[in-house]
Copies of this chain bind each other. A is one copy, B any other.
Amino acid sequence: MVVVMGPEATEADIAAVVSIVETAGGEAFVSRGVARTIVGLVGDVDQFGSLNLRGMPGVRDVIRISVPYKLVSRENHPERSVVRVGGVPIGPDTMTLIAGPCAVETPEQTLQAAQMAQAAGATLLRGGAFKPRTSPYAFQGLGEQGLRILADVRAETGMPIVTEVVDAHDVELVASYADMLQIGTRNAQNFALLQAAGEAGRPVLLKRGMSGTIEEWLMAAEYIAQRGNLDIVLCERGIRTFEKATRNTLDISAVPVAQRLSHLPVIVDPSHSGGRRDLVLPLTRAAIAVGADGVIVDVHPHPETALCDGPQALVDGDVRELARLVRELPPVFGRTLTEPADALTTAG
């Protein structure tokens, strides 16, 4: 059961709802989105029915939700959400390109990759400072030094940054640099991390687990939402199957399925899905055509020396084609490529 607060609701109104639910033996989880605040109730639903919550000050609606992911479900939230990252929207009317290096290696490489990203039409910069690697002997990222490089490149280019956090206790540190926190496929059920991200005050990019069902993915989002953060963007990045011609199998159907079940934006990562440079542009076209709200791609100035996932990074020659693609294709489907954050700011 979910209590939807009106825009006029005060903190005292919210606190009163929480209090009455707890007094009745239930639990109440307050989630604050851009547009409105929602209180998710756990406990004896029939008893909540007798509390007359609907009559309390600031309450707009009280809704029973049939699915287990109550706060991110589209059942009580038919309009699809827009999540803003440093001013850049990700949502149903736009197509947002996020690009950058898989891993932050040096200031020069990161700046060059950011310039490639901008040339391609990207408005958000991706780049990993903390890298989860299958092997403990592989490059694990530069850590805070990488975050500082990202912040410098943001200052230089004006691009808000999206970067991964791999441990609950790094969330505060990463959030102090990042405009958006990324949670990777290996942490799709790291519930401590999801909860910490829910409390960090930053939008979250939540990748699907490589063997996670769509329902499990939405439940992971619910962990974040339950801690008060509805600014979540879902990212399909390929699932693990028997096929070995590609690194993972992009589940393109997951985009419309997740968009029907949840109000959250859904984007696609064609780089990690295929794991092959030659598939990135075809899969980007497919992602835009199927209705994705954005795309996140790896670019690298010198992929042959990349410390991480070089074989899938786009190079200079691909960037022009990507730029053409992300400008020309979205309008066919009633969307426009998002404008840079500074253009947006200046315009505003």
Interface residues of A (CB under 8 A from B): 42, 68, 70, 132-137, 166-170, 186-187, 189-193, 195, 210-211, 213-216, 219, 222-223, 226, 239-246, 249-257, 260, 273-274, 278-279, 282-283, 285-291, 328-329, 332-333
Contacts and interface: CB of A to CB of B under 8 A. Distances in A.
Given A213-B243, A279-B257, A332-B329, A189 B249 contact: no
Q: Which 9 pairs of residues, A with B, have the shortest CB-CB distance?
A: A211-B211, A289-B289, A186-B189, A167-B192, A285-B289, A286-B290, A286-B286, A256-B282, A252-B252
B289 A329 contact: yes
Report copies per complex.
Answer: 4
Given A136-B226, A211-B242, A214-B245, 16 more contacts: A68-B137, A134-B189, A134-B216, A135-B219, A136-B223, A137-B222, A166-B192, A211-B211, A244-B244, A249-B249, A253-B282, A256-B278, A286-B287, A288-B289, A329-B332, A332-B332
B257 A246 contact: yes
A251 B250 CA distance: 7
Contacts of A332: 328-329, 332
B245 A242 contact: no
Nearest to A213: B243
Given A257-B245, A328-B332, A135 B273 contact: no
A213 B134 CA distance: 11
Contacts of A273: 253
A282 B255 contact: yes
A210, A242, A279: residue with the most chain B Cβ atoms closer than 10 Å:
A242
Nearest to A69: B135
A320 to B, nearest CB: 17
5 contacts: A213-B245, A241-B251, A246-B257, A260-B278, A282-B289
A186, A223, A246, A253: residue with the most chain B Cβ atoms closer than 10 Å:
A253
